[in-house]
Amino acid sequence: MKIAVVILNWNGRQLLEQFIPTVLKYTAGADIYVADNASTDDSVAFLRQSYPEVKIIRNKDNGGFARGYNEALRYVDADLLCLLNSDIEVTPEWLSPFRLAFTHDETLAIAQPKVRDYRNREYFEYAGAAGGYIDMLGYPFCRGRIFQTLEKDEGQYNDTREIFWATGACMFIRKTIFDALRGFDEDYFAHQEEIDLCWRARNAGYRILYIGESCVYHVGGATLDNMNPKKTFLNFRNSLFSLTKNVPSSYVIPLVFIRMLLDGIAGMRFIFQLRFSHCFAIIKAHLSYYYHLKNTIKKRGKGNKKGHYYVIKSVVWAYYIIRVRRYPILVKD
């Protein structure tokens, strides 16, 4: 199996300098690519001078995570792709469980490792943790992470199991399936595009796994931190995109309506917290959603009518009202 690790970069010289050496050290048997989103720093020059073995793909502009990968992966020759954030520290033998899993299971389409916090290394990290799920209204959460609450890794998720979505911070996907799904939806730009991709893959009948035998460490927030209104805008808008595109036809309209009402409550909460820019970001998210609505409806696939996609009706109710903070209490597996 030919494997390619592809790191998307935009003005990330410092991150590349910090994490590329570990990737090269622990990723024997795979090709390493850096897909550069038209950086204006010296990222490309640094790579060419210091790591000539790294293959460089230069995109013509910064199309964000979604278009950046879509454009770059056209030029990658591999059976299995690993989309790896530039702020990820890999570990010895991190690749081996995926090589084995994808070789012996032809039904496997997408997978992710355990993701722990680079700064607080005994805890799971926000973006992915131990595998992703969503509730009925499309709110994402993970084993090991519900909203801003992170669990300590005590071996409770050292298993291999099927999940709903795999993190884009470290996502393994077969190249044939990525191409068949036409890659990421470029309207997302960044944030939650991996949830949409996984949802479409599940609607098409493919399997997604979490493989806890492999572990990586993620800095997180290296591009946009949680206090950035742009991240609020992208998360709220893109979640509405995913609901509109992927939930069964019989209840897409009421779910989107309820979700937008809850977005309004979230906006009021931001006002009470004096975070006015985040409230405005939600308003902008809804306006952008309406602007793209006609095109978003056209993207609905044939597999939307089948599949029970959620494991809990409302993670918002459980977290904020009942005060459930850990996955094993939230979801009875």
CATH number of 3-218: 3.90.550.10
Rounded to whole angstroms, the Cα distance separating 279 from 263 reads 9
pTM for the structure as a whole? 0.95
Phi, psi dihedrals of residue 98, rounded to the nearest 5° = -80, -40
Q: Is the pLDDT of residue 39 over 90?
A: yes
Per-residue pLDDT, 170: 98
Q: How does residue 332 score in pLDDT terms, banded at 50, 70 and 90?
A: confident
Per-residue pLDDT, 130: 98
pLDDT average, residue stretch 216-238:
83
Rounded to whole angstroms, the Cα distance separating 157 from 128 reads 12
Per-residue pLDDT, 227: 73
Per-residue pLDDT, 305: 53
pLDDT average, residue stretch 298-321:
83
Q: At what angle do helices 229-246 and 276-298 cross, to 10 degrees?
A: 30
pLDDT average, residue stretch 255-280:
96
**Gyration radius (Cα) of the chain, Å:** 19
Per-residue pLDDT, 308: 77
Q: Is the pLDDT of residue 183 over 80?
A: yes
Rounded to whole angstroms, the Cα distance separating 241 from 192 reads 10
Per-residue pLDDT, 304: 58
Rounded to whole angstroms, the Cα distance separating 316 from 139 reads 8
User: Do the beta carbons of residue 23 and residue 53 sit within 8 Å?
Assistant: no
pLDDT average, residue stretch 172-178:
98
Amino acid in the structure at residue 263: D
User: Do the beta carbons of residue 127 and residue 218 sit within 8 Å?
Assistant: yes
Q: Is the pLDDT of residue 281 over 60?
A: yes
Domain span(s) for CATH 3.90.550.10 in the chain = 3-218
| 122-136 pLDDT tens trace | 999 999 999 999 999
pLDDT average, residue stretch 84-95:
97
Contacts of 275 (CB under 8 A, 6+ apart): none
Q: Is the pLDDT of residue 249 over 90?
A: no
pLDDT average, residue stretch 239-252:
93
pLDDT average, residue stretch 235-264:
95
User: Do the beta carbons of residue 129 and residue 166 sit within 8 Å?
Assistant: no
Per-residue pLDDT, 301: 77
